[in-house]
Structure 1
Amino acid sequence: MGTVVDAAPIKATNESLAEKKKPTVVFVLGGPGSGKGTQCSNIIENFGYTHLSAGDLLRAEIKSGSENGTMIQNMIKEGKIVPSEVTIKLLQRAMEESHNDKFLIDGFPRNEENRAAFEAVTGIEPSVVLFFDCHEKEMERRLLSRNEGRVDDNIETIRKRFRVFLESSIPVVEYYESKGKVRKIDAARPIEEVFESVKVVFTPKNEKAN
């Protein structure tokens, strides 16, 4: 009987998530108030994806009281940015622990450094980047209508969030656009109309034809 022992070098045990699970990853990007959360809920319900929010995972880690959580909390308190690797490890762990192999990653990567680190650490490129494109006036209107009675406090904060999104996240969208991975959705329309466009992205080609 032949042997395959020497056919390839033995791999390190820390096999990447991409090799172990081969997950389908969709990045969901859009400015504050673009309706990402609502549409993520619709996608989960209709297409069986697991929703992962970087912010939620960081908050859960802090709440757990772990050593890692304390470190994250201290960094946030000091106004420091949590390193990409920390957030990515939390995302990676959540994917590994899930029984699913299809993931919506919401609000991440926030910038080019996040993007490069995610691909380097996990070995995964997104299959699609869903970009909810919504003009600033509409996003502002939506956010202010949520903030009952606190309009004056928040208008400046909201505009600052828009600026950060444009400066940090648009380069990520442009990078994936150059690779043909971006599906731009006009998110200024009513929720139902937006979801009709989203469905086209997630419906297999053979089903669209029928």
Structure 2
Amino acid sequence: MIVAFLNQKGGVGKTTLALHLAGQWARQGRPVTLIDADPQGSALDWSQQRAREGLPRLFGVVGLARDTLHREAPELARDADHIVIDGPPRVASLMRSALLAADLVLIPVQPSPFDGWASAEMLSLLQEARIYRPQLAARFVLNRCGARTVIARETAETLADHDPPVLAARIGQRVAFADTAQSGRLVFEIDEDSPATREIAAIGAEVGRLAS
């Protein structure tokens, strides 16, 4: 299965979620490869920091920020149960290639007025990809949700009947995720019983059900 985290808007948490989903599957013993399709290379930087810290490798990270991604990703998928793509912001050609490569597109968004983050361009690219990939599945993922905030509840309600719909599992506003970006670790390696670890496990389980 190839899962791509995509959003035209930067700073919504694509890299953090991509790394943690890959890590969640890897800790379950599944072979996983993460493709860093963002020219900024944040996932590659995380992987290099992990190596500098002497931490064991959980999954492979491959830099592939080019518009031939849809032709190259299936080759990588032969050696892994799952491929996770950390997608690029605002690069339409790379975005199209990632969409054509994916079996499931996850669109991270933060609680905010609907028109602020569900860009017409992103949804237009998704519909365009479905001309060639009619079975392409997609879901919004609510990220950085403040606990019990009105705006988080209203955002979830707005997306309840939307196409694409929103995952039931969501990610809270957690300092732990910022810490992992600097340390080359993942939240379950810092605290196996933390809310952040449980939230990532819930995302992994729900995405896994979509794949079955």
* Structure with larger RCO (C-alpha < 8 A, sep 6+): 1
TM-score with structure 1 setting the length: 0.44
Larger radius of gyration: 1
Q: Normalization by structure 2: what TM-score? A: 0.43
